[in-house]
Structure 1
């Protein structure tokens, strides 16, 4: 168990990373490739990468691993991190920094002033007023990672939240309002920017803007400005429609 101790200043300086970390995605994906048994969510990725490596000429070119195992999956990696960030922003808006730190169960448990993190190591870490950067990772699985050097920048790498999908409900909603519009409404369960929605649904930014306008006009979604960004989130009516979509089968 990793125990991270916060001061009041640390709480003020705690933040969520804005994008995946290429170094950590490379390192953590390599750990999965070397395992004989991989978590089910990485099963297809593992089979595809092993097959790709088998077709590479020998000796393999430098940095070939990244080009085969990480780069082709970067949109999936980024979408996973974007989804986690949207979830944490919503937790922060609803409950402040305590709500944010309390949203990481079961990987972490927040008992102020200490964050308990699943880890292969048993140690304590004092932030000493520097705050903590929470870095979601697509390839991180099970526990969290923090630099062992107490003087290194405190960055906690943790598993990105996995969306809880209801395929039957998603298909029913798509039949009702179209696949793209349904995908946007489902993804907007947590506050997302237009770019995040475009990546998660797999459409262009102009397409997202068109559908956002229609969803707002229907009272299913609202847009909230925060600084230089605009976040889109479902209204209660929109959430009720998504939650009851299984009834349309």
Structure 2
């Protein structure tokens, strides 16, 4: 049971966050990839993402076991709205926080030895922190970035509903509807939790953070000295994943043609040679090469020689086109 203890000042200091927190979604989505629960909501996303994850996820999963405690420093307080801000906050984690959280992780998972690089992380090594930040960035790019707008839409809808509840019925009604297990009886909010855990707000207020990938009861930090936050699951549309595919594929196909749009998406999954790209797309090598030439001329991908091979990588313009942030190149013809 999680018990959050309010003072008379804390109700006026509750903050209802309007947007998804990138670092919390990274952490919580890593659990959704390792558990079968929520297949109706996450099954298609899980099947699409899992084969594309390489070593990017290893550092993250080492610090967040499938069940139980995950280090608090993976979700920095006040990390900002962008991935760059989140990873910068991660790089700025103090040595004391790193060491304390990693020691706590070892204590709570005695049969799960930590990889050797975490020793450097516990010492505050800038290289180890950069390695972790790069791993988080790679994970986000593969697992969340293609779907981020849909995720934000679900969170925004939840926020708007709770804001209306607040206006009509007050904070008590908001707190009582955060989760089916929520029991509000001033000055205490009780919620289902894996273990007994008490948070005494003592005038610090409480951040209510909606989360798309939070599944089951709400979650929070283990360290009660950190800024109090309650991360709770939002209501999600069953067709959220399908909507991302319909929007993305139809728009790209209309602009580039189905084959070329598919090639661009596959290059975005990860840098590759023409032969690797042909294998991913199920195309003859010559056809893949022709598509690459057109996309490169449109500045949607770049190619560089590495020894005896040529590696293709998506450009910033190509990424923006996939995300719908810019109109595509006007010179591309349809296939």
Q: Which runs of 5+ in 2 are unaligned?
A: 57-133, 240-323, 325-335
Larger Rg: 2
Give me the whole-angstrom Cα distance separating, in 2, the residues matched to 1:110 and 1:98: 7
Length, aligned pairs only: 161
CA deviations over 1:215-235 (Å, ceiling 9, x no partner): xxxxxxxxxxxxxxxxxxxxx
Gaps of 5+ in 1: 166-202, 204-249
Distance in 2 between residues matched to 1:105 and 1:26, nearest whole Å: 21
Shift of residue 91 of structure 1?
0.8
Deviations 1:72-92 (A, max 9, x none): 110121011101101110110
CA distance in structure 2 between the partners assigned to 1:108 and 1:163 by the alignment: 22
The alpha-carbon deviation at position 52 of structure 1 amounts to 2.5
Instruction: Find 1:160's aligned residue among 231, 234, 237.
Output: 234
- Report SS of the residue matched to 1:104: coil
Query: Which residue of structure 2 lines up, in the alignment, with residue 118 of structure 1?
Result: 192
* Aligned CA-pair RMSD: 2.4
Which deviates the most, 15-24 or 97-106? 97-106
8 Å CA contact retained: 2:179, 2:218: no
SS, match of residue 116 in structure 1: strand
**Residue number among 165, 173, 177 corresponding to 1:103 in the alignment:** 177
Q: CA deviation at 1:148?
A: 1.5
Partner Cα distance (1:77, 1:105) in 2: 19
d(CA) in 1 for partners of 2:144, 2:12: 34
* Counterpart among 210, 215, 219 of residue 136 in structure 1: 210
- Asked whether the equivalents of residues 107 and 144 of structure 1 are also in contact (C-alpha less than 8 Å), the reply is no
Change (3 A) 1:21 1:118: same
1:84 maps to: 158
- Whole-Å Cα distance in 2 between the matches of residues 43 and 8 of structure 1? 44
Change (3 A) 1:164 1:116: farther
Please, which of 225, 230, 233 is the counterpart of residue 151 of structure 1? Answer: 225
SS at match of 2:216: coil
Q: Normalized against structure 1, the TM-score is what?
A: 0.60
Q: Does the C-alpha gap of structure 1 residues 107 and 135 become closer, same or farther in structure 2, counting only changes over 3 Å?
A: farther
Ranges of 4+ aligned residues in structure 1 off by more than 4 Å:
none
**Is the 2:211–2:234 contact (alpha carbons within 8 Å) kept by the matching residues of 1?**
yes
